[in-house]
Amino acid sequence: MPIQPGDTLPDIELQVMGTSGPEKIRTGDLFAGKKVVLFAVPGAFTPTCSAAHLPGFVVNADKLRTKGVDSIICTSVNDTFVMDAWGKAHNADDITMLADGLGEFARAIGLTQDRTASQMGIRSQRYAMIVNDGKVELLNIDAQGLDQTSAETILDAL
């Protein structure tokens, strides 16, 4: 069963790109004491993720912050180098690009999907959540499209 509103996110070590290369970071540290919008995509550089999902959060980052969001985090089952390159390609300077290279976080919160038929392996589902001090306040999941997980939908929910 996937994580639910009211649940606390698991504390898992993942990676972000630092100034001198990949850096380990704990999810507990990323979310502690902050209001965070976390969104996940099935894969960096994939069509819908690149054309609409990430760009929506890039364009709306300031609006999210005016509604009290301390940080915006994008995660995917991709390595740190891919997440960093994807963020740079989309000018996502205001978004933390969190690499879940082994899918540990996606598995721990029960939001994986099997994309082996399309040669992608086990990936994260597309979701967006509002997290306050590590606790899930809102979780929206999209099986298709971006109706529930777009930046605009999350803005309306704040």
Give me the active site residues, please: 49
Beta-strand relationship, 71-76 and 135-142? unpaired
- Helix, strand, coil percentages (3-state) for the chain, rounded to 5, are 30, 35, 35
Decide: 95 and 73 in contact? Cβ < 8 Å.
yes
Cβ neighbours of 23 (radius 10 Å): 12
Cβ neighbours of 88 (radius 10 Å): 12
Cβ within 8 Å of residue 87, ≥6 positions away: 54, 74, 93, 95, 97
Decide: 108 and 77 in contact? Cβ < 8 Å.
no
Beta-strand relationship, 71-76 and 95-99? parallel
